[in-house]
Structure 1
Amino acid sequence: MRVFPPRRRLLIFLAALVLGLVLVPVLFEKRLIYFPFRALEVTPKELGLRYEEARLVAEDGITLHGWFLPVEGSRFTVLVCHGNAGNISHRLDRAMLMHAKLKTDVFLFDYRGYGLSQGAPDEEGTYRDARAAHRYLSTARGVAPGNLIIFGESLGAAVALQLALEVPARALVLEAPFTSISDMAGSVLPFLPVGRLLRTRYDNLAKIGGLRMPLLILHGDRDTTVPFAQGRRLFAAAPEPKQFFPIPGAGHNDTYFTGGDPYWRAWGEFLGGLAAATGSSH
């Protein structure tokens, strides 16, 4: 049996350690990106909300679940692409606040593998799921492009952006968006080339230049999950018309609670500007 000198053994150990640090995120990347919850925590019925159950079929045959939540006097419908954890039941508080603060209809849907939706998540699958959600709104609900707001939070911002590049809508709203999964990997493991090895891309920075609708980006200035600087960088790369609203003191998951009235004012003024522009064009 060959025995290596201590210095060489140390180098071999360090090389193996670095290789392990690189390979673990690559081999388990989906488990590190997607955190789906199957069980619904609460339903609109239990909260006394008006709603319609929706069953969607993605283009590859996967059946998805969603809730359409209407409100009296709405002008816009917000299609919500949620983040990488939980399911639509964890977004009902946001939907209720959208009703109260913005008077918008809200459509929540779960990606494959989340909640009551079939399958398992991956990048292309989430894009297919968003297309299915859009088809439901445009066909079953008759939502016109001029009344549709596409909204995405965190990972959902990448899904929302891709959808906004493919279908007509009145505007796109992104909350806590990252520039790419590669950049996110680099922010977590800055000394390892993990990002280049990942199959999942969600490359928002490469895509956003093709956007052809008004854009609002909201980002907590104390976000420790998605760096605030990534939201600013994405905004800088986006074409006009665009607005950026920094949420003072907010992290990643407390944006609308910490942001409070100023947060909802930013939303309201953005939507109000869209409505005014639509009215003046007739």
Structure 2
Amino acid sequence: MQMLFKLLFCLGVVAAIAYCTICLYLYFQQPRFIFFPSSVIERTPESFGLPYEKVWLPVPATFGKVEHIHGWWIKANQLNPKVLLYLHGNGINIGANVAHAKRFHQLGFSVLLIDYRGYGRSEGSFPNEMRVYQDAATAWNYLVQQRQIPQKEIYIYGHSLGGAIAIDLAVKHPEAAGLIVESSFTSIQQLVTARNMFSVFPVNLILTQRFESIKKVPRLKMPVLFIHGTADSTVPAFMSKNLYAAAPEPKKLILVPGAEHNNTADVAGLQYLRWVQSFVEKVQALK
């Protein structure tokens, strides 16, 4: 019996050490469970017949270094001050987002697509929450200061994780024209809970990448459009419902029946363009 007790005690100690080790690993490595960048750009705007300009935006980094964000400026065909800052999700890079950006271009937007540091051709180390916020702010400043776009003509669009980045930027820049948030979540903690991930670990204690959009949307000062597919298995649609409920007016929520995480516009077809156009018209009417 004494030997059994010692064996069980030793096993308990080993299990406790292993558990703590995993917690420490998750604490320090969690960005790698959230961000999935690729350095390979498979498509450019040229692939879709869109003339574009490459942009390189300097971002102050640690120890006095300067890193550069890579992006594409796709100018509208007609004379129109309307601009869309496109913030993509956590996977791949801007090359996987050109087809969707083309939809906004069809609606008369000039579009700025950027890759966060660590994605595509952008410089820098592996991304994290604070860096992507800084990258989005750098893109905003580029539009305002270098392109001299009136702030009231800039719409901010974000898909999935990009939606959380877009919300953060919109709160900091209430002078923006409007905000479009597609297939996004309330917070990383609530997303982990909803998907029943890492339930045996003290997620709230070890979480450093929080993206707490649900706490930010009540501070929005601009019209916001939420879009979400009802069949989204990556981010459940109730999260956009909760974001919508927490956001002030004017606001609109569109749920796309049968759409998954990355295909709301494909499923909706031309109706997607009509929703965005209607949103823009309402924004213009409020001015």
TM over 0.5: yes
CA distance in 2, matches of 1:133, 1:155: 17
Query: Corresponding residue for 1:136?
Result: 142
Q: CA deviation at 1:193?
A: 2.7
For 1:27 and 1:183, the matched residues in 2 are separated by 20
Q: Is the 8 A contact 2:86 2:101 kept in 1?
A: no
Contact 1:182–1:196, Cα closer than 8 Å, also in 2: no
For 1:58-97, list aligned pairs within 5 A: 58-60=59-61, 61-73=66-78, 74-97=80-103
Superposition pairs for residues 85-164 of structure 1, below 5 Å? 85-100=91-106, 102-120=107-125, 121-164=127-170
1:44-90 residue CA offsets vs partner (Å, 9 max, x unmatched): 23443111111101243221111010122345211011100111111
Cα distance in structure 2, aligned partners of 1:261 and 1:45: 23
Q: Give 3-state SS (helix, strand or coil) of 1:62's partner.
A: strand
Cα distance, 1:3 vs structure 2: 4.7
Give the counterpart of 2:241 among 222, 225, 232: 232
Q: Is residue 216 from structure 1 mapped to residue 225 from structure 2 by the alignment?
A: yes
TM-score by length of structure 1 reads 0.89
- What is the match of residue 203 of structure 1? 212
Measured in 2, the distance between the counterparts of 1:54 and 1:88 equals 13
Q: How far off is 1:25 after superposition?
A: 3.5
Aligned partners of 1:183, 1:196: CA distance in 2, in Å?
Answer: 14
Q: CA RMSD in A?
A: 2.3
Task: Name the residue aligned to 2:177.
Answer: 170
Task: Return the TM-score normalized by structure 2.
Answer: 0.88
User: Structure 1 residues 21 and 261, CA, compared in 2 at 3 Å: closer, same or farther?
Assistant: farther
What percent of counterpart residues are identical?
35
Structure 2 stretches of 5 or more lacking a match?
Answer: none
Q: Secondary structure at the match of 2:226?
A: strand
Q: 1:250 to 1:273 in 2, by over 3 A?
A: same
CA contact (8 A) 1:221 1:248 kept: yes
Amino acid at match of 1:108: L
CA distance in 1, matches of 2:136, 2:241: 25
**1:186–1:193 CA contact under 8 A, matched in 2:** no
Cα distance in 2 for partners of 1:262, 1:248 equals 12
Equivalent of 1:184 in 182, 191, 213: 191
User: Is contact 1:247-1:263 (8 Å) kept?
Assistant: no
